[in-house]
Structures are given as structure tokens and as C-alpha cells.
Amino acid sequence: MSSQVAEKSFVTTFVALISALVLLAAVLFMVGALVGVVGNVAPDDGSRKQVAAVERIKPVARVAIAVPQPAGAELKLSGQEVYNKVCMACHATGAAGAPKVGAKDQWEPRFAQGMDTLVKNAVNGIRGMPAKGGNPALSEVNIKDAVTYMLGETGIKTDTAN
């Protein structure tokens, strides 16, 4: 039995030795492949560092200065366009006490003061309404056209109806 134990021990040792050699060969093969891949990487030219530095020091915000319109430049908008862009926000809902378009009972007392007064109040602002509806680029003509449009939509005829 001793020869059988010795033979079994030899086979076990032999299998272990072969397994270790196969494992060593696999590891060496992988290391060789890794070295080949690493050798093909382009050298660092510093561009990644430069991009990272620029990213770190870039400003948080930017200031843009708009080119001002020359004095007397007038926006070419119809009364309806001015209403849709500026006036609708308050005059469609009645926000801040604004007379709603279509509410004749709210517009008639204001129109009784005269068209010039209505336009003057819209240009300068009154109560909760900011001057020019909050858009300083609008001209007095734009405001008058918008007021005329709102009155027309409400059913009040003006002598300047467009």
C-alpha cells in the first residue's frame, strides 16, 4: 500500500505542479498583453491638464451688453401684437386691478376720461400698472395702438380705431 500512497502523492504533486505552471503562463500572457496595450497609448501632451485648468478657472457667469436702440427707434408692432406680448398678462385676467378685455363696465368709466388720459396713464403707469406695461422699448404710438385694440375688443368704438 505504501507504493499506492506514494503513487497517489506523486500524481497529486504532478497535477499541482502542472496547474501552477499553466496559471503562471496565463498570468505572463496577460501581463504581456497589458504591456502591449499600455505601450500603444499616446504620450500625454498636456492638453487634458490644460482643459482641466480652464474648466477650474472659468467664470461663474457672463455679462452680455445689448446694443441700445437709437433714440426715436420705434418697435413696429400692431396694437394686437403689443397686447399679446405685454398687456395680455394682466388685462386678460384682471390681475392687479387691470380692466379685463371684454368687460365693458370696467372700460367705459376709463374711456369717459378721454383717450389721451388712457394713453397717458398707460405710458406713465397707474396704480399697479408699470409704465408702458413694463416694457420701456414701447413707444407712445405702440401703447395707443394697444389701448385702441383693447377698447375695440371690448366693444368700445374710438375715433382712432385701426
pLDDT tens per residue across span 103-112: 888 888 888 8
3 or 85, which is more confident?
85
CATH, range 79-154: 1.10.760.10
Specify burial of residue 86 (Cβ count, 10 A radius: 0-12, 13-18, 19+): buried
Confidence check: pLDDT of 85 > 60:
yes
pTM of the model: 0.53
Q: What is the C-alpha R_g of the chain?
A: 42
Cβ 70 vs Cβ 121: under 8 Å = no
For position 125, what pLDDT does the model report?
A: 84
- 45-83 confidence digits (pLDDT tens): 777 888 888 888 888 877 777 666 555 555 688 888 888
126 three-state secondary structure = strand
152 Cβ neighbours under 8 A, 6+ residues apart: 158, 161, 162
Ramachandran quadrant class, 116 (left: phi over 0; alpha: psi -120 to 50; beta: rest): alpha
